[in-house]
Amino acid sequence: MKYTIVIFVLFFMIQFTTAQTEYLDSLYTVKKTTHTYKKFNRKDSLELDFYRPIGIEKEIPLLLYVHGGGFSGGQRDDTNTKEFAYAMAQKGYAVASISYRLIRKKLGFGCDTKTKNKIEAFDTAAEDISYAIKYILKNKSTFNVDENKVIISGTSAGAEAVLHLTYVNDNKILPKKFKLAGVIGMAGAIISLDQIDAEKAIPTQLFHGTNDNLVPYHIAAHHYCNPNDKGYMILYGS
């Protein structure tokens, strides 16, 4: 699965290439560092793992990745995520894999979860993605990424978060002039298509399995809940 994802992402990212071998072939060794990008109080904070190819002095594209887990689980440094991040960084991209607030932890995210609580989970994760991007851009001397080539990506819940940040939520955290270079959704969906317009439109890559029984790949209820369920909510899939 990880190899398929890398191939799909590379097709999307090729528009940022300056030489055919760079960004396509594994040319670099990679250094991984961990950073706290947001502190809410003395006990609660959020971290990101940053993967950067060694030996590149110029600003490079940033691929920010958001893990899945139903907004109740998952982690930024699971085996598949680390392998994906290293694979992309070896090709010349900076990669940030972030933790975010899992507000449905121990509560679930199924048909018995109220719709408003599901939307709150989308919004909270999208907010944390914004905090992570803001932190990386603010610390330019540390990360040395090209602010005009920031792509966000995610899987399942992570895909829902990045798609909502891109197309549904209003920007209240990032600089007003900042614009994402692209978004990649792997098995994601959004609650509305109404906000998608020419102003918000950016290069977008979506892919989704048709046998997904949690996140609809077309237009259907989240988790395919029944209309009388608390968690009944129509989603627009990939």
Residue numbers of the domain that contains 160: 2-210
19 is a domain residue: yes
What is the model's pLDDT at position 22?
A: 79
CA distance 46 to 57: 28
Q: CATH code at 109? A: 3.40.50.1820
221 is a domain residue: no
220 is a domain residue: no
What is the model's pLDDT at position 160?
A: 97
Cα dist from 193 to 82, 150, 171, 190, 219, whole Å: 32, 23, 17, 7, 11
Output b/e per residue, 149-185; b: 16+ Cβ within 10 A: bbbbbbbbbbbbbbbbbbbbbeeebbeeeeebbbbbb
Task: Classify strands 182-186 and 189-190 as parallel, antiparallel or unpaired.
Answer: unpaired
What is the model's pLDDT at position 24?
A: 86
Tokens of residue 33, six digits: 């560092």
Distance of CA 199 to the CA centre of its chain: 20
- In three-state secondary structure terms, 223 is helix
Q: pLDDT tens digits for the chain (238 residues)?
A: 555 556 556 566 655 555 457 788 888 999 999 999 999 987 889 999 999 999 999 999 999 999 999 999 999 999 999 999 999 999 999 999 999 999 999 999 999 999 999 999 999 999 999 999 999 999 999 999 999 999 999 999 999 999 999 999 988 899 988 999 999 999 999 999 998 888 889 999 999 999 999 999 999 999 999 999 999 999 999 8
222 is a domain residue: no
Nearest by Cα to 37 from 80, 93, 99, 79: 99
236 is a domain residue: no
Number of domains in the chain: 1
160 is a domain residue: yes
pTM strictly above 0.85: yes
219 is a domain residue: no
227 is a domain residue: no
